[in-house]
Amino acid sequence: MTRPRAAGRRAALTAALGLAVLAGIACPAAAGDDPVPPGDDGKLPAPSPVAGRPRAADMAGTYSGLIVREASGRGLPPAVADAVAFVESGYDPRAVGAVGELGLMQVRPSTAAMLGHRGPAEELLDPSVNVRFGVAYLAGAWKLAHGDLCRTLMKYRAGHGELRMTARSVDYCRRARDRLAATGSPLAQADLPSVAPPRAGMAIAVRRSRIGDGPSMTTRSVRSWAEHVARVRAVEARIDRIMGGG
């Protein structure tokens, strides 16, 4: 019989990886696109308390030493990494995002792999592993943004190649600044940028996708579903290997 704890971990990880597969079908990356960022592009609500889980305020001190050590080693202000952990998960190391993000800093397995992680996805639920790769990606964004807080956070949540300040990125920075202010960091004084206008041609691209340029939606959907089934089976096989049969 499968042990309850192992079964629970397996179910959570299967759901996370399965949702990541679905997200890949809904929004396939174009060749040459920037690697998938740790945070979900569609995730906006601030962390909310979950029954039976400690509040963020109670958990902050638990991981502060780990965050400071990793951030300092990469030339990143620790307060920025702390704010990201607060916004992303409320310091919940067991958090699983809508499209497969995992842990304290909501790192996607694909991002961790890009940064050198070679272990199973469930290792990202280990705070030390999660913070290592989350801070590595965040520090890269900090350097690319030349220390601009809001642009750093934009690149963390939407990808290192992102240049446009969307409403979601502005909201993310606002919440991070609130956290920085609560901890007394001078970085809370960073200017909040305006939302950039939509890209030229975006409306045309959306309209064309709706009227069905190229293969019919039926053909495309059937092909996507077949690919999805194959990916889900691969995920299930991988989970079996990770969990050692339960």
Q: Which residues are catalytic?
A: 88
Torsion on CA atoms 2, 21, 107, 10, rounded to nearest 10? 0
Handedness of CA 32, 34, 36, 42 (dihedral sign): negative
Is 187 in a helix, a strand, or coil?
A: helix
Angle between helices 56-73 and 78-89 (to 10 degrees): 140
Q: Read off the tokens for 192.
A: 């909040």
Contact predicate 18/232, CB 8 Å: yes
Contact predicate 81/90, CB 8 Å: no
